[in-house]
Amino acid sequence: MIFIFGANDKIVKQQQCYNQEHCYHCNNTTKWILEKNATYASLFFISVFPIKTRYIHYCPICKNGNQLNEDEYNWKKNAH
C-alpha cells in the first residue's frame, strides 16, 4: 500500500481590521487585512490536520505587512 503525504497552505480566516493604519511602504492610510493561515498535512491530497499556523497583518494596496503572534492577532481581531 502506498501513502501519499504532502502539505498545503490554506487561508483559515481573513477579515478587515476595524482601525485604519498607515502604511509607510505605499504611504496610504487604510484598513489593513488580518489573516490567519495554516499549513495542513495532507494524505492523498486531503488536508487532515494543521501543522503550523501563521497570523499576518498587511496593507491591502501593496501587500506590505508583518507577522503577528496569536495574542496580537486576537487583540486586533477584537479591537473596535
Residue 26 in the binding site for Zn ion (CB under 5 A): yes
Which of 8, 64, 66, 69 touches Zn ion by CB under 5 A?
64
The least CB distance from residue 10 to Zn ion, in Å, is 24
User: What does the per-residue mask of binding to Zn ion show for 4-23, with x meaning CB under 5 A?
Assistant: -------------------x
The least CB distance from residue 22 to Zn ion, in Å, is 9
Give long-range contacts, CB 8 A cutoff, 24+ apart: 74-80.
76/17, 76/34, 77/15, 77/34, 79/17, 79/18, 79/19, 80/18
Under the rule (CB under 5 A), what is the footprint of Zn ion?
Answer: 23, 25-26, 59, 61-62, 64
